């Protein structure tokens, strides 16, 4: 049969997404470097409803099995394997065909590949996919970026196969090439922040409040019924209550080594925040926490040398739990504000015209950061696409103003007890900096002028100024070029 779409790369994500498309009525051809996975996927298609899916083991036959213009989704490891797969398949493709890379790829690589394929007349889309293996099978969040003509060709397929919240599909056109990968990258950065914030709450509940895993699991289950409702809160409750499955007493989470892995998207997000001159301290703190966690042997040695507070304050467990709910919610708002700020800055720079309300809609279902909070973000960005910062939206500003004292109590509690809250304290610091009309940056700029003659602006008059701070300073003459190179 002539197939509607092809998928190359049959690890579990690839298999599941191929079956998802087939289950929605599209005829799917699958191919893979190792042939055994082709057979596995075909067998799964039979077992899961006799789905319209065929396996093809020869790359040329795979390409030729597709209706024109051909559409091929790649789900292979990012980096060189993507380049190798494109080289393998594109030799059999024609002008007007489309390749869709569904991996977590660094967006400049996507732009490069699009330029290379353009010479052959083949269109290229970088499409972020979030939701893990379950999402790929049952409905992920799909974030495509590329030529609009190419998007129009795949839109009927991805709209049906994406997650849906109500009647809204968790997908849409992110913008030109690179935009989809960028939105997915920032999604992952926000995910880093979310996970770190939840782990800090867990640390307080466990080590300050002295709660058991069962009690904490019950609390997260309760929180998942309110403003904090989200996938990550939901799975945290399940993780905390999972009994050990390796023959030990207790719970799995207590046997998990405290070293967090990563695949690079969080680091890319922090790098891009710096590149765009956008503050993202919550996401950066989450990334730094993963780095610190990786130095397990050093921490074990330091534990015997470095001291924490000895006189710890008395705690009111019920008040802490109440405050934690507010502090976590406020911190999550701030983390999303930072992520959306990064996307907005890059979109303006690259002229992508990314719709931030669409980003929130795409993230509401199927993906790892799906949360009740995102409906409010979608509405806020739809009301004012040029909103300077999510925190100043009326609804979110009210929530932050209401919760800020609880937030402060929790951060202070962590400091007093020697429990590090890097992401939560960074979130509060960002909030406090952003809400102040005047910061101590005047002193920093004065220091820059003192040691480097970098000049400064004044609050009382226009122009650029330099001061002879002491007898060692000389008149700089014309100041016009002194700010050259400033970011």
Q: Choose, from 23, 105, 191, 325, the residue flagged as catalytic.
A: 191
Are the C-beta atoms of 343 and 356 separated by less than 8 Å?
A: yes
For the beta carbon of residue 323, count every other beta carbon within 10 angstroms: 21
Give me the chain's average pLDDT, please.
Answer: 95
For the beta carbon of residue 106, count every other beta carbon within 10 angstroms: 20
| Pick from 58, 62, 50: nearest CA to 5 | 62
Concatenated DSSP letters of 38-63: HHHHHHHHHHTT--SEEE--SHHHHH
For the beta carbon of residue 50, count every other beta carbon within 10 angstroms: 9
pLDDT of residue 396: 98
pTM: 0.93
> Which has the minimum average pLDDT: 160-174, 191-205, 305-319, 322-336?
305-319
For the beta carbon of residue 457, count every other beta carbon within 10 angstroms: 12
| Percent of the chain with pLDDT strictly greater than 70 | 98
Q: How far apart are CA 462 and CA 77, in angstroms?
A: 54
Question: Tokens representing 20?
Answer: 């998802």
pLDDT of residue 475: 76
**Using one digit for the tens of pLDDT, what is the confidence trace for 238-247?**
999 999 999 8
- Which of helix, strand or coil describes residue 323? helix
Q: Choose, from 184, 206, 332, 344, the residue flagged as catalytic.
A: 184
Q: How far apart are CA 379 and CA 356, in angstroms?
A: 10
pLDDT of residue 261: 83
Angle between the 317-350 and 422-434 helix axes, to the nearest 10 degrees?
60
Task: Tell me: pLDDT of 1 over 70.
Answer: no
Instruction: State yes or no: is 191 an active-site residue.
Output: yes
| Pick from 148, 225, 227, 184: nearest CA to 363 | 184
Concatenated DSSP letters of 423-472: HHHHHHHHHHHHT-S--THHHHHHHHHHHH---B--SSS-S-B----STT
| Pick from 363, 343, 360: nearest CA to 352 | 343
Angle between the 179-207 and 317-350 helix axes, to the nearest 10 degrees?
170
Angle between the 281-293 and 317-350 helix axes, to the nearest 10 degrees?
110
For the beta carbon of residue 433, count every other beta carbon within 10 angstroms: 13
Instruction: State yes or no: is 184 an active-site residue.
Output: yes
Report CA-CA distances (Å) from 19 to 64, 141, 172: 20, 16, 21
Confidence of residue 279 (pLDDT cuts 50, 70, 90): very high
Phi then psi for residue 31, to 5 deg, are: -150, 155
Q: How far apart are CA 66 and CA 87, in angstroms?
A: 18
**Using one digit for the tens of pLDDT, what is the confidence trace for 352-393?**
999 999 999 999 999 999 999 999 999 999 999 999 999 999
> By CB neighbour count within 10 A (0-12 exposed, 13-18 middle, 19+ buried), where does 302 fall?
exposed
Residues linked to residue 66 through DSSP beta bridges, in sequence order: 3
Phi then psi for residue 381, to 5 deg, are: -75, -30
pLDDT of residue 473: 78
Confidence of residue 111 (pLDDT cuts 50, 70, 90): very high
Are the C-beta atoms of 392 and 398 separated by less than 8 Å?
A: no
Q: How far apart are CA 432 and CA 413, in angstroms?
A: 18
Give the mean pLDDT of 312-341: 96
Give the mean pLDDT of 140-145: 97
For the beta carbon of residue 267, count every other beta carbon within 10 angstroms: 18
Residues 6+ apart with CB under 8 A from 265: 104, 184, 185, 188, 189
**Using one digit for the tens of pLDDT, what is the confidence trace for 389-413?**
999 999 999 999 999 999 999 999 9
Confidence of residue 263 (pLDDT cuts 50, 70, 90): confident
Phi then psi for residue 305, to 5 deg, are: -115, -45
pLDDT of residue 262: 77
């Amino acid at each position: 049969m002539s197939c509607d779409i092809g998928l190359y790369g049959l690890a579990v994500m690839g298999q599941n997404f191929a079956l998802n498309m087939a289950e929605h009525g599209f005829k799917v051809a699958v191919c893979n470097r190792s042939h055994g996975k082709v057979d596995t996927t075909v067998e799964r298609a039979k077992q899961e409803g006799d789905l319209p899916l065929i396996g093809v083991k020869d790359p040329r036959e795979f390409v030729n099995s597709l209706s024109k213009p051909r559409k091929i989704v790649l789900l292979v490891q990012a980096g060189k394997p993507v380049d190798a797969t494109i080289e393998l398949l594109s030799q059999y493709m024609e002008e007007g065909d489309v390749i869709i890379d569904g991996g977590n790829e660094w967006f400049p690589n996507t732009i490069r590949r699009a330029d290379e394929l353009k010479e052959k007349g083949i269109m290229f889309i970088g499409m972020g996919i979030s939701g893990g293996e379950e999402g790929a099978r049952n409905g992920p969040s799909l974030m495509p970026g590329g030529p609009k003509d190419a998007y129009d060709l795949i839109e009927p397929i991805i709209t049906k196969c994406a997650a849906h919240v109500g009647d809204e599909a968790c997908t849409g056109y992110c913008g030109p090439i690179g935009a989809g990968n960028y939105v997915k990258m920032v999604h992952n950065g926000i995910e880093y922040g979310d996970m770190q914030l939840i782990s800090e709450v867990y640390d307080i509940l466990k080590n300050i409040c002295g709660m058991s895993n069962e009690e904490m699991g019950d609390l997260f289950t309760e929180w998942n019924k309110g403003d904090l409702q989200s996938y990550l809160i939901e799975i945290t409750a399940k993780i905390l209550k999972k009994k050990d499955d390796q023959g030990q007493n207790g719970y799995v989470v207590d046997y998990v080594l405290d070293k967090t892995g990563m695949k690079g998207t969080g680091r890319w997000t922090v790098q891009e925040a710096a590149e765009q001159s956008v503050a993202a301290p919550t996401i950066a703190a989450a990334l730094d926490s993963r780095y610190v966690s990786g130095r397990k042997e050093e921490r074990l040695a330091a534990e015997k040398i470095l001291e924490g507070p000895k006189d710890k304050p008395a705690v009111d467990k019920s008040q802490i739990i109440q405050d934690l709910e507010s502090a976590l919610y406020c911190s999550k708002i701030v983390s999303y504000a930072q992520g959306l700020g990064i996307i907005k800055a890059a979109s303006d720079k690259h002229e992508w015209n990314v719709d931030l309300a669409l980003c929130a809609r795409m993230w509401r279902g199927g993906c790892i950061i799906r949360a009740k909070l995102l409906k409010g973000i979608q509405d806020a960005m739809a009301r004012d696409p040029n909103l300077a910062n999510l925190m100043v939206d009326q609804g979110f500003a009210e929530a932050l103003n209401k919760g800020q004292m609880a937030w402060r109590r929790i951060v202070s509690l962590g400091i007093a007890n020697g429990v590090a809250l890097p992401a939560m304290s960074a979130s509060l610091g960002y909030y406090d900096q952003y809400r102040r009309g005047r910061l101590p940056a005047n002193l920093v700029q004065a220091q820059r002028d003192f040691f480097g003659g970098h000049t400064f602006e004044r609050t009382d008059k226009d122009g650029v100024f330099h001061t002879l701070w002491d007898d060692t300073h000389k008149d700089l003459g014309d100041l016009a070029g002194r700010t050259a190179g400033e970011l």
